[in-house]
Every structure is written in structure tokens, then in C-alpha cells.
Chain A
């Protein structure tokens, strides 16, 4: 498929938006003109030829791995539950490392067994960051909108600041921010260097007040940015982050049952349309960014 020359390097697809095998997903993503992909653990473990071959397939695809997802219900546990989750985290970090991913996404805990003490949550995230550090992996902590204690990017940011580790930052998911109606003005208090991942999605309903609806919508009815009723908010979020100085990746975190049932190229093409809209109409990326220009060193 030939595409016009629009710079969509900053945007990537998630494998979770597509049905089929890992090689088919990677092929569809690449054919749509993307250069990066967000992987999940199941991509490796569910690969018919085994996880080692999955690593080979990912590397052979030429796609850069945006990040690896997702560690759940990790922080705030104690005793044997904590030890168990440390083992899970280590396994995820090793998978993340094997595919060359530099970011591991962790969602705030939903567990009723977890402490609500922010210092305890911060201590555990700091430990996770230390585990990730020798592997060169950064931890992006995301406030899930149905998280038990932490469910907004504002409170997630507070925990990240308390934990204060260089390779621990925040992950922002537009879906969760819109679901909790967190003011986008609060993005301005973030340090753009500590935003390690931004995931974008839109959805079709205006309001999702209950936790059950949020979970259901998040897992089955998301659409690509620009396809739902929150396009203006998506645009505002992206523009605010850009103004703030965020120059990292945007990944489309679109869980959608319909997209799981239609041909991969059609879904990937929808994702591409979304990326082009964000790049051209929202961020005006056809103009070179000041930070992107490579100035020639003056001749001495």
C-alpha cells in the first residue's frame, strides 16, 4: 500500500486492536505506514512458534517497540502477595527486554488487598524501577480510571514524585482521563521529561460514570482518536502535551470488539487516518519542530 508522505513517526498502533497472529498484526501495522508498535505479553506467549521466535519476528519486522504492557495490581501488596507480584514483574521485565522495548507500562492497582498508603505505593514502584534499571527499561505508571486508590493522572503523578526514581515516570491514557473527567489543565503540572508514554483512544459515549461501564467501555468499545465523540478533547490533550514539551511516543490503545472481527488492513488504515489527523491537523507536523531541526555546526 502506498501512502502519501505524512510524518506519523510519533504515532504507533497497539497489537491489542488487531485480531490474528503476531506476524499478521505486525505486517498490517507496517503496511499502514507505522514505524512503531506497542506489544503485550500475550503477543509473545501466544505465538505459535514460541516466545523466542516471537522476538525474532518482532525484530525482523523493523518496527520499533514503543513499549510493553501491562503489569497489573502490582503496588501496595505485602507478604507473599508482594513476593508473587515481584516474580511476575521480573518475568514481564525480561520479556520487555527481550523484544527491545524501553518502556514497561504498569496500571494502578485495583486490588482490595492493596494498601492505600501513598508512601507504600511509592516504595513498591521505586523497587520496580530499580528492577527495571539494569535492563535499561523505564516504568510508565498509569492511573486506571477504575484503580482502587490511584485512578487519575494527577494522583498517579503524586506517587511518581514520591517514588522519585529516574526511570519511573507517568503513562497517560486519554480514555481514563476522559472517563474520570480530570481537568486537562492539570497536565500543565507534569514534567514532560517524566511522561514516558501517552496512549490515545476515543469512545462513542459522552458519559461513563460507573466503574462497571468504564471497564466495559475500556475493554470493548474504544475507537481511534477522531472516531468518537471526544475528538476535541483528544486534540486538546495532544496539543497541551506538545506545548508542555512532550516529544515522546503516542500509542493508540484501542480495545474494540468490532475491530477484532474485521480484516486487519481495514483496522490499520483507520488507525493511519487517525495518525494523519493528529499529525497534520492537530500538531501541524508538516512544519519542522524546533527541537527536531539539526543545525549545522559553524565552521571554525
Chain B
């Protein structure tokens, strides 16, 4: 029997948006070159610049990182400061318009768009703090960067990933008593699932881990240390996690490039994971043992 989409809806109920990984992660900073140097140490290469704004695209393997030094002037957007801030996660979805509508229908806040002539209008909703969550559906045959960016000449537009590094996920700091709230937020709007407490990755097993409905990346929610009564305005996307099939090989390769790692009694590099030093007043990266 032939089953076709025009006869019955076959959308996967556990992945209502057709989520398919992370398209890019964006940082906002007033010092894009300084962050660029840190990203290059981490194995990224600058591959393209935005046509109209002070925005750069860095890449390694499947991972795209955007450095945004453009002050958009929108309310509730992150204003560039010297310390880099993770300002957006772009999710790959089956259909961006449908995903956007799905999120708005369930109570997401739309981010007003501010596009220039001939630029793509990428829909976004507000995430934690002043961050945004974008929906991108052009990532197979052609990409969003083909439209809004120009390639930097003589640079390999597809630099390979260092030691097989890939997106693992993002760590989000949350306020006191906010675990259930944020778990519900990601479940309701995007279909994330809570992992059982005994399923943990990396060397920083605090908080709660949420798995994307496509199963390809994770969000880790971390509450303040017990006893800290009030952390007003401290909810944010704190760091990126990279998956790697061999943590110690990645640590060695990154060390050679000048990356320092936290080596203390509590946290140190091991086969499960590692944590880089903090750069530029707050940018740090985590390595997690995770094979593709």
C-alpha cells in the first residue's frame, strides 16, 4: 500500500519540528579578532564574512561558529561586550516556517527580524536570557551562508575537523528552582527529552541533560551551587561542548595549538572529557567523549 504525505500526516510525534542538529552557534563580542584567535586555537578557520555586517563565519568539519560584532540595536538582544557571549543557537529543522509557527503557537516569543535587502530572513525565537534560537532549513543542497556571506579568498571553505570534533551540545546556567521550567520549555517548544540521571557525559556531571529529539546533541542545565540564594540575571548559555571519539588525543592536539586545560583536583583531562581554560573573561569549551 502506498502511503503519501498528502493522505496522512507522518510527522514523527517525538520530533515535531524535524530537528536535525545544530546549524551554527553564534557569539557576540566587541572584540571579534580576539575571539577569532581563540577559535583558531580550537581548530576553527575563518571561511567567510557577512555581506553587510561585522560578522564572521568560522568552521571546522560540520561545525559553524558565527562571531557577531554588529550591534543590532534590537531590544532584548545581546549587546557586544569584551567578554564573548553565546548569543544564539541555530537549529536545523525540516521546515523553518513550520517550526517557527509551531514554537509561537506554544508560547515562544518571536524575535523581530532586521534584515537588509537580499538577505535571508531567518526566523528566531527568544531563548534563555537575551539569546535566540534560529530555525534553519537550508543546509543540504545549498546553505544560508551562500546568500549572506562571501567566502574569504584562498581559504579552504571546508576545513576538516580536528581529531573528529563535532557538536556535542551547550551548557546552560539556570536560576534557583528553574530546572523543571527549562526542562518543560525545551520539551514543549522543541521536543527535547530528559535523560535519566545515571546517564552522563564528560567530566562535569552536574545538573540535568536534555537530548535533542534527533538524538544528535544535548543541552545540560546547571543550577547554582546549593546555598547561593539569589543569582539575579545569571541565566545564560555558558559554554559549548565538543564531542570527540578520543578526548586525550583532542587534548594533545589542542595543547599543541596553545589551548590550556583546567587541571585541578576536581576537574582534569581524562578519557571521559576535559575543560579548557577560560579565555577573554569567560569563553571556555568542553570536550566530551562521544563517537559519531
Contact = CB atoms under 8 A, between A and B. Distances in A.
A128 interface: yes
B241 interface: no
Contacts, number: 41
A130 B108 contact: yes
Interface in B169-206: 175, 178, 180-185, 188-189
Interface string A156-181: 00000000011100000000000000
A39 B184 CA distance: 28
A214 interface: no
Contacts of B175: 136
Contact of B184 (A90, A127, A128, A166): A166
A136 B235 contact: yes
A127 B106 contact: yes
Nearest to B105: A127
A59 B178 CA distance: 23
Contacts of B127: 134
Contact of B185 (A90, A127, A128, A130): A130
Interface residues on B, range: 10 to 19
7 contacts: A126-B107, A130-B106, A130-B107, A133-B181, A134-B127, A134-B128, A167-B181
Nearest to A166: B180
A65 to B, nearest CB: 13
B109 A134 contact: yes
Given A131-B107, A131-B108, 12 more contacts: A90-B109, A126-B106, A127-B107, A130-B108, A130-B185, A130-B188, A134-B127, A136-B175, A136-B235, A165-B184, A165-B188, A166-B181
A133 B184 contact: yes
A129 interface: yes
Given A134-B127, A136-B175, A136-B235, A128 B181 contact: no
Contacts of B181: 133, 136, 166-167
A165 B178 CA distance: 12
Give chain A's interface secondary structure class: helix
B126 interface: yes
Nearest to A90: B109
Interface string A117-158: 000000000111111011010000000000000000000000
A128 B178 contact: no
A127 B107 CA distance: 5
Interface of B: 105-109, 126-128, 175, 178, 180-185, 188-189, 235
Interface of A: 90, 126-131, 133-134, 136, 165-167
Q: Which 5 A-B pairs have the closest CB atoms?
A: A130-B107, A166-B180, A127-B107, A131-B107, A166-B181
B74 to A, nearest CB: 14
B178 A136 contact: yes
A136 B183 CA distance: 13
A133 B175 CA distance: 12
Contacts of A167: 181, 184
Nearest to B233: A136
Nearest to A138: B181
A31 to B, nearest CB: 26
A104 to B, nearest CB: 13
A165 B184 CA distance: 7
Given A165-B184, A166-B184, A134 B106 contact: no
A130 B104 CA distance: 10
A131 B105 CA distance: 10
A135 to B, nearest CB: 9
A72 to B, nearest CB: 19
B75 to A, nearest CB: 9
Nearest to B189: A130
A128 B107 contact: yes
A133 B184 CA distance: 9
Nearest to B176: A136
B133 to A, nearest CB: 11
Nearest to A128: B107
A126 B175 CA distance: 21
Nearest to A137: B181
A134 B178 contact: no
| Residue in B106, B126, B181, B183 whose Cβ sees the most chain A Cβ within 10 Å | B181
Contacts of B189: 130
A133 B125 CA distance: 13
Contacts of A131: 107-109
A144 B106 CA distance: 25
Nearest to B175: A136
A22 to B, nearest CB: 23
A152 B147 CA distance: 56
Contacts of B185: 130, 133-134
A175 to B, nearest CB: 29
